[in-house]
Amino acid sequence: MIKLIDLIKEESSKIIIPRNIEGRKEQHVRVAQQRIQDYIENGSKNHLNLMNVPITSLPDNLKKVGRNLILKNTKILSLPDNLKVNGYLDLTGTPIESLPDNLQVELSLFLTNTKISSLPDNLQVKGSLFLTNTKISSLPNNLQVDGHLYLENTLIKSLPDNLQVRGGLNLKNTPIAEKHSKEEIEKMIQATGGHVKGNIWI
């Protein structure tokens, strides 16, 4: 006669124990790293979409991205020096704290909800620059933004010399907007050789 306890033991022995979650994460990272190397070996021609991939850095031999580089919601902490992105660069929601030297972005640069607190002097952005909800408190002199410059909800108290913005300038909920009117800010920009072609929002 088969006892109930024997049946339970038999069924228990058939239970499949799931693989270690941490091990799967490491495998995911290895797959992503191999994908990046394959992208480089194939000429870095198209988009490189790594959104939500748990990587913390990119290889030093990644020097260009043919189109958009999407790193939104990754664990990225650094980018290689002299990186050129021929589309837009999206770093939204990442823990990155600084940008590399000689970074060139042909379209927009998204830094919203990051830990960025400063920008390198030689940064080139030919689209819009999104710094909303960051710890940025100052900008480098001679900064040129071909699109809009978004500084909403930042710690900006003053603007750099020779600031050139071809689009609009968003300063809502910033220390400089709390102390100065739109007209005063515009005069300050012009007094240092700068120019904002579009609207100034405060």
Q: What is the pLDDT of residues 150-169, one digit of tens each?
A: 999 999 999 999 999 999 99
Exposure class string for 50-74: b at 16+ Cβ within 10 A, else e: beebebeebeeebeebbbbbbbbbb
Separation between Cα atoms, residue 90 and residue 44, nearest integer Å: 17
Ranges 8-12, 52-56, 82-86, 119-123, most confident: 82-86
Q: Higher confidence at residue 30 or residue 89?
A: 89
Confidence of residue 21 (pLDDT cuts 50, 70, 90): low
Q: What is the pLDDT of residues 179-201, one digit of tens each?
A: 999 999 999 999 999 999 999 99
pLDDT computed for residue 61 by the predictor: 95
Residue 1 has pLDDT above 80, yes or no: no
DSSP tag of 15: P
Confidence of residue 178 (pLDDT cuts 50, 70, 90): very high
Q: Domains (ranges, CATH) in the chain?
A: 4-201 (3.80.10.10)
Residue 10 has pLDDT above 90, yes or no: no
pLDDT computed for residue 54 by the predictor: 87
Separation between Cα atoms, residue 77 and residue 195, nearest integer Å: 33
Provide the strand spans (E) within the chain.
48-49, 64-65, 69-70, 84-85, 89-90, 104-105, 109-110, 124-125, 129-130, 144-145, 149-150, 164-165, 169-170, 195-196, 200-201
Q: What is the pLDDT of residues 108-138, one digit of tens each?
A: 999 999 999 999 998 989 999 999 999 999 9
pLDDT computed for residue 78 by the predictor: 94
pLDDT computed for residue 5 by the predictor: 53
3-class state of residue 184 by DSSP: helix
Counting residues of the chain whose pLDDT is more than 70, the rounded percentage is 89
Give 5's contacts (C-beta < 8 A, 6+ positions apart): none
Nearest residue to 172 (alpha-carbon basis) of 150, 141, 142? 150
Mean pLDDT, the chain, whole residue set? 90
Model confidence, pTM: 0.85
Helix (H) or strand (E) holding 117: none
As beta bridge partners, residue 85 has 65, 105
Instruction: Please state the rounded mean pLDDT for residues 6-11.
Output: 49
pLDDT computed for residue 17 by the predictor: 43
Nearest residue to 102 (alpha-carbon basis) of 63, 139, 66, 128? 63
Instruction: Please state the rounded mean pLDDT for residues 75-103.
Output: 95
